[in-house]
A and B are shown apart, each in its own frame.
Chain A
Amino acid sequence: MSPELRQHLRTPVLTLFALLALLGVNVLLGIFFIGGHAWIAEGFVAATMVAIVIMFAMEAVKDAPITRLFAAIGFVWVLILFGLTMVDYVTR
């Protein structure tokens, strides 16, 4: 493996281990906390994984700001869908 390639592979390797570690956390939470409010922590871990994929695997962190803006727009719109739908369901 050339040193140039090794240099290039730093981020992917770190991303791989970070994601696997976070998955491990979530699996442990899933096994040992059935019921209750573990879903809050699990959701938080999952959101972190998603952010890591966007920022490092999909390289949004290196890209022009427009890329991060578009990624953010996507999740903001998902929040609109969830938020306004849930206003109805949680008040029923």
Chain B
Amino acid sequence: MSDAALRDPRIPAPVIDRPEDYLHVEQTLSSWFFTTDHKRIGILYLVSITGFFVIGAIAAGIVRLALVVPDGSILSNEVYNRMFTLHGVIMVWFFLVPSIPNTLGNFLLPLMIGAKDLAFPKINLLSWYVFVTASLFTLFVLLWGGVDTGWTFYTPLSTQYANGYVIAAVLGIIVVGYSSILTGLNFIVTVHKMRAPGMTWFRMPLFVWSLYATSLILVLATPVLTIALVLVFVDRAFGLGVFNPEQGGDPVLFQHLFWFYSHPVVYVMVLPGMGVMSELVTAYAYKKIFGYKFIAFSSLAIAVIGFFVWGHHMFYNGITQYSALTFSLMSFIVAVPSAIKVYNWAATIHKGQIRLDTPMLYAMGWIGLFVIGGVTGLMLASTALDGHVHDTYFVVAHFHYIMVGATVVAFLGGIHYWWPKMTGRLYSEPWGRVSALLMFIGFNMTFFPQYILGYMGMPRRYAVYPESYQVLNVLSSAGATILAAAYLFPMIYLVWSLWYGEKAGDNPWHAKGLEWTTTSPPPKHNFRKMPIVDFDPYDYSNEPPEE
């Protein structure tokens, strides 16, 4: 007996317009806050880290404003120190580290390997709660009590001399580390155990490879930061003394432990960006990626070699010359896999059918910024040159080219690329292109002058500077306003598109990959039936994409 026979004939049969997607399957607030759906948790993360990004950016804006004048008359030294600490702590731990892995990664990893969800959905939700609790606590501490040590918490400044709420801030960062660990653990197990039939390791998208490498770093590095900060905590609270030279301790030991985490964590920020790049470049060059295995293994190589280079932050902080030479050599070696990736992307774009849409504009900008950031990194890795520019704005410019130029640009490019998949809507293409261009211009205008300033000798972390540096500082601050606009536009038109954007099809960019084979937005368990993978990744034919 069919259903129709039972139904009252006066009531028309229901028309299923579209299958229930993950956004509409349940609508209550509690269905969001207690969800275990990786896609919803990705959205939760996206909203929270965007909030932190705005706060961190405002702090950066205040710092840049203060640096318009050389005499420090806008902010007192103390407030200035607290402001750059606020900026650093928030941007590193509450935005950059979770940025791509916890939003795009959370959303896409199961979709890309054909799984229903991550291996441990409840742990995934727990990770978000840990993150939000610890980060709000730390934010409260940084705003009300203030910390003036910089994000690095160097001893003995942090343990003995600094005023402010170092203990509480350190506690918040210890706890937030566990959200990274839980996410990394979840991703590793998911990649190993949750792949769909036929999804072999070498059929995985390169974004998944980069997420895997990132997760390895998170799992292996974060605990060492935890214990380093526990020791700072105990030192400050009870006078442990291990980092205190007056008692016979060694402050450099803290730096060893700290950079054992904090250098690899730079790769946590940039590796997922590289993964996004591999996806964008192939989709918009409409060409099979060049050197798939080289890119995949270079991700792992970066993750591993990244653990051998931490001492290049400490060449002039008291380590021996033998130690410095070892770290310098390894730092040159770690540049090789990054370079391999850049060559492969360039070769992929070469003779491709290039579409200069918004994500591709971000990707093109990314390559330029990353190359500048990477090459200046090599300059810093040579001990002799580092002696000249150590602790100057040259270093500041270098790591902003990597952290903002690479991570944030890739994050924005990725958000645009997968926005139709995440929301089912298309954003405004003209506005997107304008923002991508503004981002590139504003970024270079902000940070390139800082290379010059640093090379001329302007030290970092000071509220006052000689008048001769003022022109370049004003230029940098002016660039920051353009950069602010470039961040603001996407926030507006992307949110606008949620209600007024054109409805996106399942695969608006004609891209390849499992995530584009399901509906936009995907249903709760991602695929209507379990996908069987019998194709290679980036299986782009040489036909031009149909428009």
Contact = CB atoms under 8 A, between A and B. Distances in A.
Contact of B319 (A66, A73, A77, A88): A88
A1 interface: no
A92 B220 CA distance: 28
Given A88-B256, A91-B323, A77 B311 contact: no
B310 A88 contact: no
Interface string B251-262: 011001000100
Contacts of B319: 88
Contact of B322 (A73, A81, A91): A91
Interface in A28-77: 66, 73-74, 77
Contacts of B320: 87-88, 91-92
Contacts of B253: 85
A67 B322 CA distance: 36
B307 A80 contact: yes
B338 to A, nearest CB: 20
B192 interface: yes
A66 B192 CA distance: 9
A84 interface: yes
B62 interface: no
Nearest to A85: B256
Given A91-B320, A91-B322, A84 B311 contact: yes
A77 B307 contact: yes
A81 B260 contact: yes
Interface in B284-326: 307-308, 310-311, 319-323, 326
A84 B308 contact: yes
**For this complex, into which size category does the number of interface residues on chain A fall?**
10 to 19
B220 to A, nearest CB: 5
A80 B304 CA distance: 10
A88 B308 contact: no
Nearest to A66: B192
A73 B307 CA distance: 13
B224 interface: yes
Q: Is the interface of B mostly helix, strand, loop or mixed?
A: helix
B323 A88 contact: yes
Q: Is the interface of A mostly helix, strand, loop or mixed?
A: helix
B256 A73 contact: no
Contact of B310 (A66, A77, A84): A84
A42 B332 CA distance: 38
Interface string B5-46: 000000000000000000000000000000000000000000
B327 interface: yes
A88 B252 CA distance: 10
Contacts of A88: 252, 256, 311, 319-320, 323
Contacts of B260: 81, 85
Query: Which of A66, A87, A88 counts the most chain B CB atoms within 10 A?
Result: A88
A87 B323 contact: yes
A80 B310 CA distance: 11
Nearest to B314: A88
Contacts of B308: 80, 84
B256 to A, nearest CB: 5
B381 to A, nearest CB: 15
Contact of B326 (A73, A84, A92): A84
A77 B220 CA distance: 7
Interface string B471-495: 0000000000000000000000000
A73 B323 CA distance: 24
Query: Which of B192, B256, B311, B323 counts the most chain A CB atoms within 10 A?
Result: B323
Contacts of A80: 307-308
B28 to A, nearest CB: 40
Given A73-B220, A92-B320, A87 B256 contact: no
21 contacts: A66-B192, A73-B220, A77-B220, A77-B307, A81-B224, A81-B260, A84-B310, A84-B323, A84-B326, A84-B327, A85-B253, A85-B260, A87-B322, A87-B323, A88-B256, A88-B311, A88-B320, A91-B320, A91-B321, A91-B323, A92-B320
Given A74-B220, A87-B320, A88-B252, 6 more contacts: A80-B307, A81-B260, A85-B253, A88-B320, A88-B323, A91-B320
Interface of B: 192, 220, 224, 252-253, 256, 260, 307-308, 310-311, 319-323, 326-327
Interface of A: 66, 73-74, 77, 80-81, 84-85, 87-88, 91-92
